[in-house]
Amino acid sequence: MAQTKNVSPAFAEKKLNKKKVVVLDVRTTKEFNEGHLPNAIHIDVMDSVAFVQQAGKLNKGKTYLVYCKSGRRSAKAAAIMEQQGFRHIWNMEGGITAWKGTIKQ
């Protein structure tokens, strides 16, 4: 059974160097284009139909670091992903607002 773990930005930053972690930005396209975590995949959770379809195509065996601006939308995204059978999901607490690491434009 899937269980989303809430993780700190510091924990997330340490884990980003591991190739097995997929970074998933669930904010709007505008927010994503203003800056995102390195190597992030973008799927807007507010477009729920598209999110379900696109997330469903991802490899369910990988570990996903999901984030938004503050942590609320990413928690929603993680819940949807759990329902789809994803087993390893990390929700970054505080979202990109709390992120201290590198941001890509």
Contact 27, 44 (CB under 8 A): yes
Q: Clarify whether 83 is annotated catalytic.
A: no
Model pTM score: 0.94
Q: What is the pLDDT along the chain (105 residues), one digit of tens a residue?
A: 568 999 999 999 988 877 789 999 999 999 999 999 999 999 999 999 999 999 999 999 999 999 999 999 999 999 999 999 999 999 999 999 999 988 988
**Cα–Cα nearest to 74, from 19, 5, 13, 11:** 5
Domain ranges for the chain, please list them: 3-98
* β partners of residue 25: 42, 67
What is the CATH code of the structural domain delimited by 3-98? 3.40.250.10
Active-site option among 24, 68, 89, 92: 68
